[in-house]
Amino acid sequence: MTGDITVTELKQRLDAGENIHIIDVREPWEFEEFNIKGKLIPLGDLQGKIDDLDAWMNEEVVVHCKSGGRSAAAVDFMTRQGFKNARNLAGGMMAWQAQIGA
């Protein structure tokens, strides 16, 4: 189950009570404005914090940002570091707010 995940799929799975690892690679001020309770690791900090995520190496990890660009870069980096199932949230928080609301 690699590749992008849609906002709708993620919302349905969260509503169903699934425990999904979510990483928000936006900046702290963006996180404060609106977030879906992911772990905040700004993209610029990810390389230095990647070892903290070793326990998630073989688990599904959904990464998101504002529109999908930074999170795509993060997923690419994580995959190269050995993460087996890092997925980008297609459209990021802009899509989430447009489809789900705040």
- Reported as a single tens digit per residue, the pLDDT across 25-63 is 999 999 999 999 999 999 999 999 999 999 999 999 999
Distance CA 30, CA 33 (A): 5
Q: Is residue 65 among the annotated active site residues?
A: yes
Mean pLDDT over all residues of the chain?
95
Query: How many alpha carbons lie under 13 Å from residue 3 in its C-beta half-sphere?
Result: 3
Residue 92 pLDDT: 97
pLDDT at residue 27, as a whole number: 98
What the chain holds in terms of domains, given with CATH numbers, is 7-99 (3.40.250.10)
For the chain, give the number of residues: 102
Q: How far apart are CA 58 and CA 31, in angstroms?
A: 26
Task: Kindly list the strands in the beta sheet with 60-64, ordered across the sheet, starting from the edge strand earlier in the chain.
Answer: 39-40, 21-24, 60-64, 85-88
**Interval 65-83 mean pLDDT:** 97
pTM of the full structure: 0.95
pLDDT band at 2 (very low <50, low <70, confident <90, very high): low
d(CA 77, CA 86): 10
Q: Which residues of 3-31 are buried (b: 16+ CB within 10 A; e: fewer)?
A: eebebeebeeeeeeeeeebbbbbbbeebb
Residue of 5, 22, 65, 72 with catalytic role: 65
pLDDT band (50, 70, 90) for residue 101: confident
